[in-house]
Chain A
Amino acid sequence: MLQLRDAAFAGISMTQQGDLSDRNPADVYWEVVQDALADAGLSLAEVDGLIGDAPPGVGLRSGLPGGAVADLVGHPLRFHAATSIGASGQSAGIGLAALAIAHGMASVVAIPTVAAGQVAGYAGADRNAAVAHMARLGSPYEYVWGTTRVADYAVIARRHMYEYGTTEEQLAEVAVAQRHGATLNPLSVNGRRGEITIDDVMGSRPIAEPLKLLDCCLVNQGAGCMVMTSAADAGAQARHHPVVLLGWGEGQSYLDPCSAPSLARFEGGRLAADTAFGIAGVGRDDIDVAGISDHSTINVIVELEASGFCAVGEGGRFVEGQATRIGGRLPVNTDGGFLSASHAGSCGVFTVIELVRQLRGEAGPRQVEGASLAYAHGVGGVSQVQYGAVLARA
């Protein structure tokens, strides 16, 4: 079987998350790419692969991002790919990058994301414009009624509560656990707002019932980048303890919410996780820390179930026992996650970056002691498509 462990997360970088509306997005993109390369001990001259987009505004053929980056680095790239995991497009790209590296098709692959500048849509700093833009990402059979992204997840929460008895207090615990991590993360948006309690979440204003303001992810700008290389190359640099990708999988399960087999459980997520764990050759009980995409608090509960960390329907009770807090049985989104750290651009990149920090042992005051195996889970759209990944401290 293919040994994905030949591919490593050699470099990571991220900007302060929040409002980057005064920055040029192309400049921010190039900054985080170079910072991630510097973190890996590499230079632009060594980049030969790209996942995702070119810097915004560089060239007018946006369908050829590899060409745009080749212009900038001064040599042709050997590899470009993009995934169709929606919002998790870049972070799910770690699997494709690892395949290319393991097969000798690329040696240094950059995986950047940026949301900055005065731009329209979800990458802008104008919250109202971003909310209106994201509302129209669904089909006309949704947006004409005034649905929103939060409403899309609220109907999942409502159905989950109905089928399994999940409570609003259990949802709130997800937000409380993650805010603590954010207070220990100086790059997070919400850390400076301090700790929150279950009562704070329950008392925050309703957005789309049963979800309240503190059940919802941020709308913010920011940028980050990962650089993947062969494990041998990463080890040779020895700037950080090497972190490798052990397993990766996808689950592409349905297109439209009207045709979803269920809005309470997600078979695609299970497929992604089973594939990733199967390739990795480790079990759920071996995982020390997880990054679970959290567009709202219900996401963490349904994705923990889909990933197999608890039975379907048990997610609420799993988090209620404070399992996902730092020091708990399975710390989740220790940086604060999309709820409290950042939800910028293809924000799954930040989920994986935090796991790399944890596995390096560089997570500072929020370090999970002895973290050696991590699991990342991300969704695209409104959970139609999902990916899972197992990372390891080499």
Chain B
Amino acid sequence: MTNRQSTFPKIACAVLAAAFAACKSGPAAPAKVSIGATLPLTGAEARIGGFFKEGYDLAFEEANKRGGLQVGGKKLPVALTLLDDTSTSATAASLADRLVNNDKVDFLLGTYATNLVEAQSTVAEQNKVPYLNGGGAATQIYRRGYKYVFGLLAPVELLGNTLMQWIDLQQKAGKLPKPSKIALVWENTSHGKDFRKGISEFADKSGGAYQIVVDESFELNGKDFSALLGKVKAAKADLFLADAHLPDYIAMHRQYVAAGMCNKLVSYGARGSEKGAIDALGRENVDYVLSAVWWSNQLAAKGGLAKQFVDAFKAKYNKSPEWFQALGYETARILFAAIEQAGSLDREAVRQKLAAMKADSLLPGGTVELPAAFGQQAQNSFVVQQNLPDGTSPIIFPADVATGTGVAPNPRCKG
């Protein structure tokens, strides 16, 4: 009893002394950088959510292997709190709120898919938390005047524009008729609308080199495209440029092939070179199809950050990355760069560094910026690929990263 009585005042004094010391030195220095994110790890977007997770995991692993992020003169480990938003907008938004207000993360990385990013980014803006995503391309996300929302995925308008730049080179080389008649078919979503805008603005500015003869949208997951394709056939279009998600690409292109249609050039936007489509449609039916994507692992052929990423990814996962993993990795990497440039975990300081960001990048173009003029959305070029009969899908544009030469018009089309 005596012993206990004598111990208590000592402990009390020690606690008081510690509390006093803490008060005297102000808030404790952060022990780590805490970043929160949600991804669609289950539900409709589970496959792509899993790809983004691979990119995030690799970026965090690399940063911690280097000892962490350089913040305020010392290295801090960086931790990711990752939650499953189940591919639904409401969950993505509520989990973002939880990450900020319960888990007290310092910054947010984005989820995948436009609708989820759109819902979640509002929470980030309301809480004034810098939010960098690589999974939302629709321009509508970035036209709301938000200060804390940044996007690495270039707008789909640019996809249409980049595709047209390559087509224009073929026309100028005399391989396509002038004017070329375009059948423009797009899914009735923000993705499709942006694609349409990119193509039609290019055509409008071409001084009559392109004439849009069909301009039609369609609902997602269509059951029958024969009437729509009939319109394309009747218009005798030279170029068939569509924007479709994978299920509609498969359904539409099966009907396109079965109907015996053949245009001088065919594209389904970002679709074309992926294995799922080739398996479903048959290699011979997708030959010469053009696609434009945000990133390709063929960019590694030119060395630099793309090669470093591809090598590290292959070493960790024993497979080649697609653009999803690359964007996940790059999004985390750019956020780390902004934190290190700010030298603190102050959200406003990091936001300012993101807004002024100009860094080397593994994305096409080799650098990345998040310009305020475009709502803080990156404007990197797309890479155009074409499926060739030898089973390859080389990058054919831009010329500085090309790994092959494109073919126009489709040699299998008569007339």
**Same complex:** no
Residues on A lying within 8 angstroms of B by beta carbon are none
Residues on B lying within 8 angstroms of A by beta carbon are none
